[in-house]
Structure 1
Amino acid sequence: MHYVNSGYHGHMLDKVLKDVKEAVADIPEGASIAVGGFGLVGIPARLIEGLRELGVGELTIISNNLGTDGFGLGLLLEDKRIARSIGSYLGTNKEYARQYLAGELTVEFTPQGTLAERMRAGGAGIPAFYTKAGVGTQLAEGGIPTRYNPDGSVAQYSKPKEIREFNGEAYVLEEGIRADFAFVHAHKADRYGNLRFNKTAQNFNPDAAMCGRITIVQAEHVVDQLLPEEIDLQGIFVDRVVEVGPQETGIEFRTVKK
């Protein structure tokens, strides 16, 4: 699949678009999208909402988790827009668990650190790498249910992965990930696509940005140019930027003393 980035306007290095709708307009049915964020932090929620309004489905989503019920990627789940998930964590998202167990969703589980490295490797042009994570488990040996039948039986299992020994220790081969698109949340961006993240909201966002063939960023603030020492991720990995203003982060669980 090839996409033309028609988002540049004015000066060819200016990657800022006028709104979210324009930024996501050319995402087709069946696209693969790497999405930054962790829990409720650093979620590109406005881009996800724009994608939801666009109405495309059969999506492959590469992300740590699929949001929570009623927020972020959870909204795409509710609308049955996601066909395949590559991630680490079902979390407290009841609809994610329901669709997986009901045979409505294919799920490829991968450890969090491995997921981050698979995205980073894809963006760095590394097709695969060896890691100790998962050696001696079903992750390496195969047999994890990736899709169920509606009657609860298993339709598809994960396949065994290549194991190789280095210095007397076993390692499992994991493949890098390249996605058609990437959705990223940043605290600040400049017109060249250089990004600054706010504390732990950085999480998976740089890795997602690197692995997207077309990377779309929602930034709380857009400035003309970031100083070199402010840059967490270089604009070479970014294709489109849209300013969304300050974003609220919810609290996952509020516990108060009686």
Structure 2
Amino acid sequence: MSIRGETLGLVGESGCGKTTLARTLLRLIRPASGQIWFEGREVTTLSGLPLRQLRRDLQIIFQDPFSSLDPRITIGDAIIEPLQIHSARSHPRRDRDRAAYLLERVGLSSDWTHRYPHEFSGGQRQRVCIARALALNPKFIICDESVSALDVSVQAQVLNLLKELQQEFGLTYIFISHDLSVVKFMSDRILVMNQGKVEEIGPAEEIYHHPQRPYTQQLIGAIPVVSLERIQVRQAQRLRGMERG
């Protein structure tokens, strides 16, 4: 379904099965039928240690950053937890350094490792979730409506951050959203889903400007033009700021 290093956008209206598909790909839900292949392995039959090893490479960024973080532990511990679970060479000092580095890489202060989720804004919490997803150096990340709960201006910042991290770490994304304009901004290819089935798949520009299926045409027709324009303007402003710096 997805090619290494690309972003595959998965779009469709609420209830069409996007999140169910994402969780099935990660084996958080056991599929009733069919096969899932990752790097030559059929993963629906994995269990025990092989499944545990697979999950080092596959991560997810959930829609609601507050509910996906444990309010009882610090953000530093939230980032360190995957290292303690999955790494046989986990070491307290090295893990702390890794957490501090990742916080800085997603635009937060490394001095904030001892703070709790309620001390952050929604956009900052989502950055923490991104840092946690990167802790194990995964190859593949599913972004499940990961900006839909954020303000438009914060959306643009997080989307640009995801693009930067993809280039730096060589990540492959499946980017899920009901907002086709955001999916177009992020994606190399787009898969349109309708009632649990693939409606249409193709290059992002082709799907967006020349949709073949009536359902896709309806989705595109419902997009507020200002939505994509705001994201593009924010990206241009950010790039100009980097050039001046």
**TM-score range for the pair, normalised by the shorter chain length:** 0.3 to 0.5
TM-score under structure 2 normalisation? 0.35
TM-score under structure 1 normalisation? 0.34
